[in-house]
Structures are given as C-alpha cells and as structure tokens.
A and B are shown apart, each in its own frame.
Chain A
Amino acid sequence: MANLKEVRVRIASVVSTQQITKAMKMVSASKLRRAQGAIQQIRPYAEGLQSMVGRLVSGLEGSAAEMPLTSVREIKRVGVVLLTSDKGLCGGFNSNLIKTARRFIQDLPDDQQATLIPVGRKGVDFFKRSGLPQDLRFKDLMLKIRYQATAEMAAELSKAFVQGEYDQVVVIYSEFKNPVVQYYRVMPWLPLQAESPSASTTGPGAGAGQGAADYLYEPGREEIVQDLLPFSLAIDLHKAMLDTQASEHGARMTAMDKATENAGDLLRELRLQYNRARQAAITTEITEIVGGAAALAG
C-alpha cells in the first residue's frame, strides 16, 4: 500500500495542476470570444470588397490575366506561408499545421524549390534546423494581429512575387469551424485567382444592377482593379490569420478541458488510494493496541 504522505503530496500537486488547466480553459474561452468577434468585424468589409472585385473583373477577363498579381507562370519557387501560434498547450493544433506544411513541401515536384515563411513561434522553432530556406521577416505577426501589419506583409510578398522571387505563394492556416473543429488548409494566395463571375451577384452591394457596364470609373476600370487587388490579398491573409488565432484558442480550450477532466479522474483514484492507506494504517494501529493490551492482561 502506498505511503500516506506520498499520496497526500501527489493529490496536492494534481489539485494545483487542475486549477491551472481550469484557469487556462477559461482564459482561452474569453480570448476565443474576442477572436470570433474580430472575424465577424471584417466580414462586411471582406464581402463588400469581394463583390466589388467580382463585378469589376467579370467583364474584363482578357486584360485581368495580364496584371502582375494574377500572372500565372511556370512554378519554380514556391513561398509557403505557415501560420502557427506563439504558444503551446493547445493539443495537436500546431503539430497538425506543421505536418500539413511538411507534407505540402514534400509533395512538391523536384524542380520546385520551397521557401518557408513562418508566422508564429511554433513554426519558426520547428523548422529552425530543417535546412529549408526561410524568410523570417514576419515571424512575430501572430503576437498581435493588426490589419496594418498584415497589409504590409501582403505588400512585401506581392512585391517579391512580382519581382519573380516566388512564382507561387500559398498560405497554410487553420480554418475556424467551431471551438472543437479546425480544418487545416493550404490556400493558394499568389497569383491571385480571378474571381468566378458568379461572385459578382453575391454580397451586400450587389443590388439589382447586374450589368456592370453602366458604371462610371474614376480613374479607369483597370486602374481601380489594380488598386483593389492588394486590398483583396491583404484581407485574404488577414482572414487566414484571424481564423488561425480563433482556432488556436478553440484548440487550447478543448485541450485544457480534457486536461481538467483527466485531472479529476486522477484525483478520484488518488483519494481512494489515500483513504485505503489511511484505513489500513488505523487498522494496524488498533491491532497493535489490542495486541499490547492482551499481552499485559495475560
């Protein structure tokens, strides 16, 4: 039977662990709420932008393909943006993202060279010694997600794409479904894909005006598209980052919930053990006293 004191010490340590996991779960729950709020906030803008770009591009197929940000060319160098969290203790969240990235890079044809662009410390740490070429300029962006910073990153990467540093850029992120479910996704980001014409009829600003032909354009249709495409890229990236952030908190909440539950199970078992040990000790003591008394009386 286990030593009484030992069991007592273990119980105390499990109790304090449980308090920590419970607190972390609650902190994640409130951070998750805020992260979900942020996703809600960008929705009107993102949808408005998407429908506007859709309407602008729909009548413009020929020349849209010639714009630098949409130009499709033979792929030699691939930029892989990997979004992970800065902190751990969120179950398999980061390792799943990293796994997705590794699989993506391994599956590239031999003549394509990948450059990793990690955002978030977990991805940075994992690939530190991998020997892959890396661009570490944006690694701290997950710390505090601000649109301004994301837009700058988008602009830098677009520039690299236009200058031929990359022929394709993908973003590996986690799509937030609900607190328990995340989808790990590889989003083709550059070259920007021309919106399908159907996109033009959705969104809030679409109204009844199907024909885009009756618009006035200032300065010109193509110039406006040129202006809008960087916004479109930035918002896609921003959305991926917000989704990843929400997924992180969701995953941590789930993991901590499980941990709290496990600690509870463990405690129940330890308490049983403790009481058994205590009873055994008492029984032994009584037997000793009775034995001693009997010896005296005899």
Chain B
Amino acid sequence: MALELQVLTPEKKIFEGSVVSVKVPGNDGPFEVLRDHAPIMASLQNPGILEIKDATGQQTRLRLLGGVVEVLHNKIVVLSPGIGEEQG
C-alpha cells in the first residue's frame, strides 16, 4: 500500500494523492514521514514548509499557516487553517 497524503484547508482540498515522502514542519521540530511510519499526531509550525515528494521524484513545497498532522496506517492527513503561496 502506498503512502496517501491529504492536505486540507477550510477553503479547499490542496493536495490529495500518493507520495513517497513528506517532510512535516512539526512544532517540536521537522520530521519526515515515509511508508509504515508509526501513528503520530503533531501540531505544526506557523508558518512552516511542507515538502512533498511523489513517485516521479517531483517535489512540491507548501507554506502552511499552522495546523496539525495525523499519520495512521500509511495515511497522512494535514489540516491547516490556511496556506501561503507555493514555492518552487
């Protein structure tokens, strides 16, 4: 089973799909989520950069204005109240 990522904000669904790894800006320090990561809930830095890497090796960076992340059974849900402009 692949690693599934959802990035949700109140205004819209920012990202949904399979990824290889996600670097999460946790409040206690950034960490990277790969397949079979242990279940975790963490609050996010405001602002913090979320780095997504998908199967083709392409990277996406999102500027999150805080929020929370939950990882459970290879499913990552990022809830953020808002998102800044994307950067390369």
Q: Which residues of A contact B (CB under 8 A)?
A: 41-42, 44-46, 48-49, 52, 56, 147-148, 151, 204-205, 207-209, 214-219, 221, 223-224, 227-228, 231, 234-235, 238
Closest to B8 in A: A45
CA distance A238 to B81 in the complex (A): 12
Contact, CB under 8 Å: B79 / A49: yes
CA distance A82 to B57 in the complex (A): 50
Contact, CB under 8 Å: A45 / B39: no
Known: A218-B26, A224-B41. 11 other contacts (CB 8 A): A42-B11, A44-B6, A44-B13, A48-B77, A205-B77, A214-B39, A216-B42, A217-B42, A224-B42, A231-B67, A235-B10
CA distance A87 to B13 in the complex (A): 31
What is the size category of the interface that chain B forms with chain A? 20 to 34
Pick the residue among B38, B70, B73, B75 that contacts A52 (CB under 8 A): B70
9 A-B interface contacts by CB (under 8 A): A52-B70, A147-B10, A204-B6, A208-B73, A216-B40, A218-B31, A218-B41, A228-B68, A238-B10
Contact, CB under 8 Å: B8 / A205: no
Contact, CB under 8 Å: A42 / B38: no
Q: B28 — which chain A residues lie within 8 A by C-beta? A: 218-219
Contact, CB under 8 Å: A41 / B68: no
Q: B9 — which chain A residues lie within 8 A by C-beta? A: 45, 147
**A interface majority secondary structure:** helix
B2 in the interface, Cβ–Cβ < 8 Å?
A: no
Given contacts A45-B10, A209-B39, A224-B42, whether A148 and B68 have CB atoms under 8 Å apart is no
CA distance A205 to B67 in the complex (A): 16
CA distance A260 to B42 in the complex (A): 55
Contact, CB under 8 Å: A52 / B40: no
B72 in the interface, Cβ–Cβ < 8 Å?
A: yes
Pick the residue among B13, B66, B81 that contacts A147 (CB under 8 A): B81
CA distance A235 to B68 in the complex (A): 14
Contact, CB under 8 Å: B12 / A41: yes
B10-45: contact bitstring with A at CB < 8 Å (1 yes, 0 no)?
111100000000000011100100000011111100
Q: A49 — which chain B residues lie within 8 A by C-beta? A: 79
Contact, CB under 8 Å: A215 / B41: yes
Contact, CB under 8 Å: A209 / B42: no
Closest to B69 in A: A218
Contact, CB under 8 Å: B8 / A44: yes
CA distance A48 to B70 in the complex (A): 10
CA distance A49 to B43 in the complex (A): 13
Q: A45 — which chain B residues lie within 8 A by C-beta? A: 8-10, 79
